[in-house]
Amino acid sequence: MPDTTFDVIVIGAGPVGENVADRVVQGGLTAAVVERELVGGECSYWACMPTKALLRDAAALRAVRALPAASQAVTGPLDAAAVLRRRDAFASSWDDAGQVSWLEGAGVKLFRGQGRIGADRTVEVVSADDEVTTLRARHAVVIATGSSARIPGIPGLADASPWTSREAASATSVPGRLAIIGGGVVGTEMATAFSALGAEVTLASLDGILPTVEPYAAELVAESLKEAGVTLYPTSGPTEVRRDDDGTVHMTLADGTTVEADEVLVATGRKPNTGHIGLEHVGLEPGDWLQVDQSLRVVGASGTPVGDGWLYAAGDVNRRALVTHQGKYQARAVGDTIVARAQGAEVDLSPWGRHASTADERAVTQVIFSDPEVAMVGLTQQAATDAGMDVRAVEYDLGSVAGAALHADGYRGRAGMVVDTSRNVLVGFTVVGPDVAELLQAAAIAIVGEVPLDRLWHAVPAYPTMSEIWLRLLETYGRDG
C-alpha cells in the first residue's frame, strides 16, 4: 500500500502543478500530484512548446529573406514535414517520461488518474480502470487543473469535428485549406504558422484581430497576415458550420460569406477544467473559474476562503493570467505561502511581498509569436484608463531605429509606453515587430521596479541595437513629462 497522506496534494501536473509540488518539497513538506493525462500539461504537449516549434522555422526564413545577400543562400521552400518532425521532438513525442523522472528527482509522488475533492483535505484519485485511491492532505490541496478550448454554440460546429488548439499543435500534416474561428492569440499564431506551412487560411472573428493588445500592434499583425495571403473576416463570426460527407467544411459568416475548408480550427478562448473535480463538496459550482484571494486560496461567493482555508488554486484555473510563466510565478508564491503557514511563519501579502502575486495585476508579460511578434507587459492605454489611472501614452516607429534597420531591410515595427503621470513611472509597454520578444524583459523590470522616468534616462541603450527604442520613447515623452 503506498503512503496516502501528504502535507500537500496538487491536482493537475501541468507546468503550474509540478512547480507547486516542487516548491513545497523544497520548503521541507511532502507532496503528491495527481495527473489524468501527461505530466507537463497543455503547455508541453499541445500549447506553448509545439506551437512555437511550428512557428520558428518560418520566422527564421523571413529574417533571412529580409536580407538580400543572405537570401541568395536560401534556394528552396520551407520543408513542412521537417517542421512537423522538429515539432514532435519539442512535444517529447507526447511521452512524459522525462517529466516523470524530473518529478521523482524532485521528491514528488505521482498518482495517475482523475483527481477530485472527496471531503475536506481529501482527494480521490480515479484510475483508468475505475479504482479509487483516497489521499489526505495535512496542510493544503492545490487545484492546478488548467483550462481547455471553449467550443461556442455555433450551429453545426460541434458535429463538424473541429480542430481545437490541441489538433492544430499536434497536426500530422498541413491541411490544404484551414478555416480559423477566433482572432485572439491562438487564432493569429496558428494563422501565421499554417499559412507559412502552405495552407490557404481564412480567419473569422467577432471583435477584430488581437482585440486586447494596443491597436497599433494589432493593425500591424492584421496587415501582415493579409500580406501572407490570409483572408480575414475580423468582425463577422460564423453563424453555421457544416462538414460534407466528402470532408469539406462549409462555414457561413454573419455577413453571408461562405468559406470552404478542409479543417476548421476553433480558437475562441478557454474554459476551466473544473467540471469533475468535486467542487460541489466545497459548495462551489462545477465548471466555474475559481475565485481566489491574495494568497491564492479558493474563495466562495462571500469572498471568504472555503473550509478553513485549506484549498488553493493556481494557474489557468483561477483566470488571473492565462500564460505559463505567470502560472509558474503563482506556483512559487502559493508553494511558499503553504510552507510558511505550515510553519506558523509570517505570510507577506503586501504588494510585491514574498508571498504575493502582484505581477498578475500589474506586470503580466506576454509574447504573441505572430508575424510580426507582439511583446507586451502591464497595461494597455485603454486598460489603464479603464482602471481610472491618469496616464499618458507615447508611440515610436521602431523601423526608424538604427538597430532595427540593420536587422532587416524594410523593418516594420512600433513601440509604445504608458506612463502613470501621477507617479512618473511606466505601467505598460508594447512592442511589435520581427524578433522583438527579447526586448520585453527590460520593460518588465522597469514596471516592477517602478523606476521613475527621470532615472530611466540614465539606462543608456547600446548603439546600434533595437533597444534604442527606449531612448526614442523617452525623448518623445519629453524630459519634463
Ligand X SMILES: NC(=O)c1ccc[n+]([C@@H]2O[C@H](COP(=O)([O-])OP(=O)(O)OC[C@H]3O[C@@H](n4cnc5c(N)ncnc54)[C@H](O)[C@@H]3O)[C@@H](O)[C@H]2O)c1
Ligand Y SMILES: Cc1cc2nc3c(=O)[nH]c(=O)nc-3n(C[C@H](O)[C@H](O)[C@H](O)COP(=O)(O)OP(=O)(O)OC[C@H]3O[C@@H](n4cnc5c(N)ncnc54)[C@H](O)[C@@H]3O)c2cc1C
CB of 333 to ligand X, least distance (A): 19
The reply on whether position 323 binds ligand Y by CB under 6 A is: yes
Binds 255: which of ligand X, ligand Y, none (CB < 5-8 Å by kind): none
The reply on whether position 316 binds ligand Y by CB under 6 A is: yes
Site string for ligand X, 117-156 (x = CB under 6 A): -----------------------------------x-x--
Phi then psi for residue 399, to 5 deg, are -60, -25
Strand partners, 338: none
Instruction: Provide the greatest CA pair distance for the chain.
Output: 70
The reply on whether position 360 binds ligand Y by CB under 6 A is: no
CB of 76 to ligand Y, least distance (A): 28
Using the rule CB under 6 A, which residue among 20, 33, 59, 186 binds ligand X?
186
Q: Which residues contact 277 (CB under 8 A, 6 or more apart)?
A: 11, 115, 116, 117, 143, 145, 286
Phi then psi for residue 148, to 5 deg, are -130, 165
Binds 392: which of ligand X, ligand Y, none (CB < 5-8 Å by kind): none
Strand, coil or helix: what is 156? coil
The reply on whether position 87 binds ligand Y by CB under 6 A is: no
Q: Which amino acid is at 333?
A: A
Q: Which stretch binds ligand Y (CB under 6 A): 8-16, 231-239, 349-357, 413-421?
A: 8-16
The reply on whether position 18 binds ligand X by CB under 6 A is: no
Question: Is 188 annotated for ligand binding?
Answer: yes
CB nearer to ligand X: pick between 103 and 209 = 209
Q: Which residues contact 151 (CB under 8 A, 6 or more apart)?
A: 157, 158, 162, 164, 266, 268
Total site size for ligand X, rule CB under 6 A: 27
CA distance linking residue 253 with residue 154, whole number of Å: 11
Binds 416: which of ligand Y, ligand X, none (CB < 5-8 Å by kind): none
Q: Which residues contact 10 (CB under 8 A, 6 or more apart)?
A: 17, 20, 21, 31, 32, 33, 34, 141, 142, 144
Strand partners, 111: 34
Binds 182: which of ligand Y, ligand X, none (CB < 5-8 Å by kind): ligand X
Closest CA to 389 of 337, 344, 442, 428: 428
Alpha-carbon separation of residue 268 from 186, 196, 265, 375 (angstroms):
8, 22, 9, 21
Q: Which parts of 350-369 interact with ligand X (CB under 6 A)?
A: 366-369
The reply on whether position 205 binds ligand X by CB under 6 A is: yes
Strand partners, 203: 180, 232
The reply on whether position 269 binds ligand X by CB under 6 A is: yes
Sole residue written with cell 483550462? 147
Centre a 10 Å sphere on the Cβ of residue 173 and count the other Cβ atoms it contains.
Answer: 10
Q: Which parts of 25-64 interact with ligand Y (CB under 6 A)?
A: 34-37, 41-43, 47-48, 51-52
The reply on whether position 14 binds ligand Y by CB under 6 A is: yes
Q: Which parts of 223-282 interact with ligand Y (CB under 6 A)?
A: 273, 277
- Angle CA 310–316–320, to nearest 5: 85
Using the rule CB under 6 A, which residue among 41, 187, 335, 416 binds ligand X?
187
Question: Is 260 annotated for ligand binding?
Answer: no
Under 8 Å between Cβ of 395 and 415: yes
Question: Is 183 annotated for ligand binding?
Answer: yes
Query: What is the DSSP secondary structure assignment for residue 320, as one 8-state letter?
Result: S
CB nearer to ligand Y: pick between 51 and 195 = 51
Using the rule CB under 6 A, which residue among 322, 363, 408, 439 binds ligand Y?
322
Under 8 Å between Cβ of 240 and 216: no
Please give the residue ranges that form the binding site for ligand Y (CB under 6 A).
11-17, 34-37, 41-43, 47-48, 51-52, 114-115, 144-147, 165, 169, 186, 273, 277, 315-316, 322-325, 327
Please give the residue ranges that form the binding site for ligand X (CB under 6 A).
152, 154, 181-187, 189, 204-207, 211, 237-238, 267-270, 322-323, 366-369
Binding residues: 52, 115, 145-147, 182-189, 269, 316
